[in-house]
DNA sequence: CATGAATGAGGCTTCATTCAT
DNA sequence: TATGAATGAAGCCTCATTCAT
């Protein structure tokens, strides 16, 4: 279960390729053959680096969750005031049209499958816990500094994640270039919700 | 394409059975055999009432969307003030623990598949359009009567749908009995968002 | 195994409908449902009049062979000289564009299936025996009257059937309106073959 | 669409196995499972070498037509006089009892299916065109050299193909050991037809 | 390490046939 | 007599997975 650098590199390449394909076609609609072709490797090669198709998917989600989580932490930590941190939180989720479309398509697959797959559910739980930690901290700071109204930080975190995800999912079925509208709306809703 | 009462009854039975299975195991994880066994009919029987597996799913989603939409309209129309209508809107979505869990599991699958299936996407578009019509009207009334602040009705409708869906999806991965918390939170967020 | 007049009428109707469908699509490409729809009866009805799909096909071929055989006998018997009888024989096979296309398409199916189905083979044997009897008689008369050269009547019968069938099958893949050319060619080949 | 030698070998093996099965049981009466078992491979293996069942059949017929056509050309080109070429043409078709029975059983299926399948029809057209080219040339030479009577070469080609096919098909339902009789009869009929 | 030929379980679908009405 | 709902056997095809090279 430990990998050399070269192996890690190859796994990364395969995961990235899978990410693109899942975004375009959905996990249950793509085959290992599809991944192999797009990645420019043989079918057998994939199963050399991943136990099976499921592990490839799980790895993809693991990586995805870790990336987004890290990104949020980094962006938030660079900000100072609670309002700036709220903005940073939203910036971390609303990155760009292309990135967000791919991300949320895969993310939807992830959520959908998590309901029926205990292996995936545990990433979800972890992911949501992290969200509570990060945004709970933002909320707590805002309340302490008197710039947010007095809500339970955990509730605020849940609202933040839900509003952002809800809007991003909704945006998937709207015009791509309304991205900024959705981003601003997310900020506005959270601002209303947290304002005194 | 017209059916007798008996046929409609049978189709309904099959669709309901499928609904339960999709909620439990997910769209692409169930087979016609599964549906047949659970419904207590033969495999061939399903294909006698539905062109193919896809049509069974599409019918399920069509019915689901129509039901929820009708429910919302009925509940909203029974209320008088904009605030009551907002509450009615949220009540229509947060029906009960059991109902909501099944519904949103299937709904998530629906959203996820809609990204890759044009046939499903059209229901999505229709569904979101109806949401805008219904909630846009609520918002418009509230604004005119001076109880809501002046937001674009369409934006309010998008926010309402997104907040409700976002929270319900989030709730799927939280404790079932926190249902009321999520429901109240939805109302709270929307109230903040619409308040002057 | 005995039928009332009404039953016979119904069987005849079903056989005729099947004949058309077999000509158009081939026996193994049509379903009982197809026959039922085209005949304007229910699927179950067909199996009320015929043991199973196979019996329907066998009955069709039986009828087909009997019809053509009777036709040949009638036409030949109305002629006087051996040459006229030869012409009558060919006329009986080359009836018309539409009739011949349908007939030979079904006939090809018949020949093709006869190779693998003993039930059908016996019709074939019977049919060819009748051909030998009928054309053998023509040849014999012609030889005795000195208008045909001295060939074995059975050989002449085999040649006659083969030439006619070979040309008709070939014509199926040529332009329909070259029907007369094929008919004349059949007569010409037989005339050459039988001339002194 | 290019294959390695090994792949070609495997495809050839599968096609030959299919050929035997089609001869014995007929086109629409054999399954991929039958082919797999007889060929000693798994069912999936066939679909690895052929897109689907249809492609297997089409390949079989393509190969069959190409083989017989090549054989005719080779044999004819080795002969000198028109009469010898006519004999070579007939020799090419009447190869041997065993070979001819298999061939014409498959060929009958081929003709029969060609009526209902446009993909197959195109091989038929090609095949008949080649026949016209080859035998038309023989006829033309014979006429020019004054050994055949003056007929249209194309007509002669059609007669040749029809007579040979008609007799071979007829032979399928006669005693196998009358093979030589049918062969001689074919030569005799053609000789009569072409003689001055 | 990497390949890709080969497998076979499992899914969807078709359709002849049965049978209650 | 006639219907057509219901069945289930059987076929085609997909594709994750194995394994010899």
B119 Cβ under 8 Å from any chain A Cβ: no
- Nucleotide closest to A10 measured between CA and C1': E1
Convert the pLDDT of each residue in B60-110 to its tens digit: 999 999 999 999 999 999 999 999 999 999 999 999 999 999 999 999 999
A164 Cβ under 8 Å from any chain B Cβ: yes
Convert the pLDDT of each residue in A27-48 to its tens digit: 999 999 999 999 999 999 999 9
Q: Round and report the angstrom distance from CA (A40) to C1' (E2).
A: 12
Closest chain C residue to D178, measured at CA: C155
Distance (Å) from the alpha carbon of D4 to chain C's nearest alpha carbon: 35
Nearest CB to B25: which of A108, A116, A121? A116
Structure confidence at residue D3 (pLDDT): 77
Chains C, D in contact, 3 or more Cβ pairs below 8 Å: yes
* Alpha carbon distances (Å) from B101 to B19, B22, B98, C152: 12, 12, 5, 88
CA dihedral sign, ordered C139, C142, C145, C151: negative
Protein contacts on strand E: list nucleotides below 7 Å from a Cβ.
Answer: 1-20
Please indicate whether residue A118 or residue D189 has the higher confidence score (pLDDT): D189
Chain A residue numbers with beta carbons less than 8 Å from the beta carbon of B128 are: 170, 173-174
The closest alpha carbon to C186, from D158, A46, D60, belongs to D158
Distance (Å) from the alpha carbon of C166 to chain D's nearest alpha carbon: 4
Q: How far is CA C20 from the centre of its chain?
A: 15
Chain C residue numbers with beta carbons less than 8 Å from the beta carbon of D112 are: 26, 108-109, 111-112
HEC readout, chain C: CCCCHHHHHHHHHHHHHHHHHHHHHCHHHCCHHHHHHHHCCCHHHHHHHCCCHHHHHHHHHHHHHHHHHHHHHHHHHCCCCHHHHHHHHHHHHCCCHHHHHHHHHHHHHHHHHHCCCHHHHHHHHHHHHHHHHHHHHHHHHHHHCCCCCCCCHHHHHHHHHHHHHHHHHHHHCCCHHHHHHHHHHHHHHHHHHHCC
Chain D residue numbers with beta carbons less than 8 Å from the beta carbon of C109 are: 112
| HSE, side-chain direction, 13 A CA sphere, residue B130 | 16
Q: Round and report the angstrom distance from CA (D41) to C1' (F13).
A: 16
Structure confidence at residue A30 (pLDDT): 97
Structure confidence at residue B144 (pLDDT): 97
| C150 Rama sector, left if φ>0, alpha if ψ -120 to 50, beta otherwise | beta
Whether the predicted pLDDT of B1 surpasses 70: no
Neighbours of C4 (CB within 10 A): 8
Structure confidence at residue A42 (pLDDT): 96
Stretch among A116-125, B84-93, C36-45, D181-190 having the lowest mean pLDDT:
A116-125
Question: Are the Cβ atoms of A169 and B170 closer than 8 angstroms?
Answer: no
Whether the predicted pLDDT of C69 surpasses 80: yes
Q: Round and report the angstrom distance from CA (C103) to C1' (E17).
A: 29
* Subunits with 3+ C-beta pairs closer than 8 A to C: D
Band (pLDDT 50/70/90 cuts) for residue A119 is confident
Protein contacts on strand F: list nucleotides below 7 Å from a Cβ.
Answer: 1-20
Chains A, D in contact, 3 or more Cβ pairs below 8 Å: no
Q: Round and report the angstrom distance from CA (D44) to C1' (F12).
A: 11
Structure confidence at residue C137 (pLDDT): 97
- Nucleotide closest to D6 measured between CA and C1': E5
Band (pLDDT 50/70/90 cuts) for residue C1 is low
C143 Cβ under 8 Å from any chain D Cβ: no
Instruction: List, in order, residues 6 or more apart from B121 with CB less than 8 Å away.
Output: A173, B114, B115
B47-53: average pLDDT: 96
Asked if D119 and D183 count as a contact pair (C-beta separation under 8 A), the reply is no
* pTM as predicted: 0.91
Distance (Å) from the alpha carbon of B167 to chain A's nearest alpha carbon: 5
Task: Judge if the beta carbon of B3 is closer than 7 A to nucleic acid strand F.
Answer: no
B108 Cβ under 8 Å from any chain A Cβ: yes
Band (pLDDT 50/70/90 cuts) for residue B7 is confident
Structure confidence at residue B119 (pLDDT): 86
Percentage of chain B beyond pLDDT 70 is 99
* Alpha carbon distances (Å) from B165 to B39, B104, B171: 30, 8, 10
Closest chain C residue to D111, measured at CA: C108
B166-181: average pLDDT: 97
Task: Judge if the beta carbon of C43 is closer than 7 A to nucleic acid strand F.
Answer: yes
Helix (H) / strand (E) containing B70: helix B53-77
Structure confidence at residue D1 (pLDDT): 59
Structure confidence at residue A196 (pLDDT): 81
B173 Cβ under 8 Å from any chain A Cβ: yes
Q: How far apart are the first and last CA of chain D?
A: 51
Mutate to test the interface with A, among B148, B170, B181 (most CBs of A within 10 A): B170
Whether the predicted pLDDT of B178 surpasses 90: yes
C183 Cβ under 8 Å from any chain D Cβ: no
Mean of pLDDT over chain B: 95
Structure confidence at residue A1 (pLDDT): 58
- Nucleotide closest to B10 measured between CA and C1': F5
Band (pLDDT 50/70/90 cuts) for residue B2 is confident
Task: Judge if the beta carbon of B42 is closer than 7 A to nucleic acid strand F.
Answer: yes
B173-194: average pLDDT: 97
Mean of pLDDT over chain A: 95
D119 Cβ under 8 Å from any chain C Cβ: no
The closest alpha carbon to B191, from B144, B142, B152, B158, belongs to B142
Q: How many CB pairs under 8 A join C and D?
A: 119
B45-52: average pLDDT: 96
Question: Are the Cβ atoms of A24 and B116 closer than 8 angstroms?
Answer: yes
Distance (Å) from the alpha carbon of A9 to chain B's nearest alpha carbon: 29
Structure confidence at residue B150 (pLDDT): 96
In window 119-148 of D, residues with CB < 7 A from nucleic chain F are none
pLDDT less than 50: residues of chain D: none
Nearest CB to C159: which of D115, D128, D189? D189
A105-130: average pLDDT: 94
A55-61: average pLDDT: 95
């Amino acid at each position: 279960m430990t990998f050399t650098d070269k192996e890690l590199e190859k796994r990364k390449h395969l995961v990235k390729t899978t990410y693109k394909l899942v975004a375009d076609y959905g996990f249950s609609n793509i085959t290992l053959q599809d991944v192999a072709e797009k990645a420019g490797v043989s079918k057998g090669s994939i199963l050399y680096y991943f136990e099976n198709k499921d592990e490839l998917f799980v790895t993809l989600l693991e990586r995805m969750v870790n990336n987004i989580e890290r990104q949020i932490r980094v962006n938030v930590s660079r900000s100072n005031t609670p309002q700036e941190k709220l903005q940073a939180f939203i910036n971390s989720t609303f990155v760009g049209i292309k990135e967000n479309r791919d991300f949320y398509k895969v993310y939807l697959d992830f959520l959908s499958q998590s309901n029926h797959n205990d292996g995936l559910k545990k990433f979800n739980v972890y992911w949501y816990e992290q969200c509570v930690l990060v945004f709970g901290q933002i909320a707590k700071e805002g309340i302490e500094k008197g710039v947010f109204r007095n809500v339970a930080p955990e509730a605020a975190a849940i609202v933040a994640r839900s509003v952002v995800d809800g809007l991003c999912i909704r945006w998937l079925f709207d015009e791509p270039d309304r991205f900024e509208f959705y981003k601003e709306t997310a900020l506005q809703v959270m601002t209303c919700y947290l304002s005194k």
